[in-house]
Amino acid sequence: MTATARINGIGADSTFSVESYREQMVAVCAALETALISNDFTGFYRLFRSSNLPFMPAAYQTDATGLFRLCFELLHRLGGISPAIALAIENHFYVTSAIATFPTANDPAMDRRRDALVDSICDQRMLVANTNSKVHGGKLGDIGTHARREEHGFRINGKAAYTSLATQGDLLVFLTEIRDEGYAFFAIANMQGNPAVEIGPYLFPSAMRDSDTRQIVFHDLVVPHESLLAGGKNQDVSQLVSFEMAWHQLLIPALYLGAAARAIEEVRKFLCATQGRDNRPLAELDGMIIDVGRLAIDYRGACSIVWQAGNALGEVKSLPRDAHLLEKAVDLAGTAKYIGTKCSEAVVTAARRIVGARSFAGGHPIERLSQEVMFATLGPEVSAVIERRAGRQVLQQRPFLGACW
């Protein structure tokens, strides 16, 4: 049975068309708007799970570009309503998309494990939480978890600071280290209610509370060998890490640019509905026209680089053959994340200044966007990391003129 035939949710049909996806996007976004009013997201997540949307990666395993476009559209829409909720959903999508579309060509065993995992996510309609096992410590990038190989599987201990969708996730996919063996990806399906998996309090208890980001602590978690998706000091693992990071860097700006688009829309409504002292709409003032035009140009330019990077990732068809294309896609994804998130924050800030104090009155959308968009530039890679990588590339012993980036 194919992934397309298995997935049956609201509005689903045998063709599994883009149109049916978009119909479901409208319904899910309406449910999120309602959930924000009641501050109860139970109905939203129930509807999201019942739709085909979480399982799009299964139907697009051989079309990363098509999958990216649909993920971008959904996260963009959700980000215009609540960047925090969109961030939680983004975590599900970047992991499942990377796993589903990773184009390895030299590891049939890994392909079988990957396909089995994608199948189980669809069959059991699971949402995927994840963590890279980073911790708040004295050294940037420290891994707080470790795995030890045993006769019947692995024993995992330690803590990870960042796990979004923590209480809603059914499956936990995480990156850790196997002692003396290198990095490894594990997937555990018994995340909720497991005494060996301690889900801590909110990491961001105010502005980003709705992202459901929490610390996870593993207490002698024992998992079977089958839970290991990929591991060891080999090319496949390093390329999967890079491929997953590229997906993450691409989808993060998608949701925050949705916040920017919503902010521009709120500016449009405000300027068209509000009159100046001369009884003319503020939208007719030349200064306002120019200011809004600049915001629109910045937004469209940022979207363009994100789409360009998404297309570049789609060109990676077979690894390790396309390793050079993966390297290019990773660089472009970092650039897209850098430009897209900085643009988003700047647009929301400018929109808040145009609308003024009304932005914080009566639950105005710009208030929520202002509180949550400030997290845009903070991950997965911080700006300094992306800037340093670009600077080193420029300062190599070759001319910058004519360089193809």
Q: pLDDT tens digit string along 125-164?
A: 999 998 886 666 556 667 788 999 998 899 999 988 888 9
Query: Which CA distances in Å does 238 have to 41, 184, 226, 230, 233?
Result: 37, 10, 20, 10, 8
Whose CA is closest to 26, among 71, 69, 77?
77
CATH architecture of 131-231: Beta Barrel (2.40)
- Contact, 241 vs 141, CB < 8 A? no
Which pLDDT score, from 0 to 100, does residue 8 have?
46
Determine the angle formed by the axes of helices 323-355 and 286-314, rounding to 10 degrees: 160
Question: What CA–CA distance (Å, rounded) separates 76 from 244?
Answer: 20
Which DSSP state fits 153? Answer: E
- Find, among 310, 210, 206, the residue nearest to 257 by Cα: 310
Peptide bond just before 320 cis, omega within 30 deg: yes
Which single residue is written with the structure tokens 């916040």?
259
The partner residues of 230 in beta bridges, in order of sequence, read 185
Q: What amino acid is encoded at 80 in this protein?
A: G
What pLDDT score was predicted for residue 400?
83
What angle separates helix 83-101 from helix 64-79, to the nearest 10 degrees? 170
Q: How far apart are CA 87 and CA 130, in angstroms?
A: 12
153-163 and 214-224 beta bridge pairing: antiparallel
Three-state DSSP class for 163?
Answer: strand
| Whole-number pLDDT of residue 162 | 85
The dihedrals phi and psi of 321, each to the nearest 5 degrees, come to -55, -40
Q: How far is CA 328 from CA 169, 316, 318, 332, 404, in A?
A: 32, 10, 14, 6, 10
Neighbours of 111 (CB within 10 A): 14
pTM: 0.92
CA dist 90 to 68, 101, 122, 166, 247, Å? 12, 16, 17, 13, 10
Residue 12 pLDDT: 35
One-letter identity of residue 319: L
Residue type, 367: E
Contacts of 235 (CB under 8 A, 6+ apart): 319, 320
Domain 235-394 in the same topology as domain 131-231: no
pLDDT, mean of each 10-residue run, the chain (405 residues): 41 60 96 95 95 95 95 98 97 96 82 90 93 66 84 90 90 89 88 90 87 92 90 84 96 98 97 93 95 98 97 95 95 97 98 94 90 92 92 86 66
CB 163 within 8 A of CB 130: yes
Position 2 scores a pLDDT of 39
How many whole angstroms separate alpha carbon 257 and alpha carbon 280? 31
Domain ranges of the chain: 3-125, 131-231, 235-394
Using DSSP's 3-state secondary structure scheme, residue 302 falls into: helix
Query: Are the C-beta atoms of 354 and 364 separated by less than 8 Å?
Result: no
The most distant pair of C-alpha atoms in the chain lies apart, rounded to whole Å, by: 81
Domain 235-394, classified CATH 1.10.10.10, yes or no? no
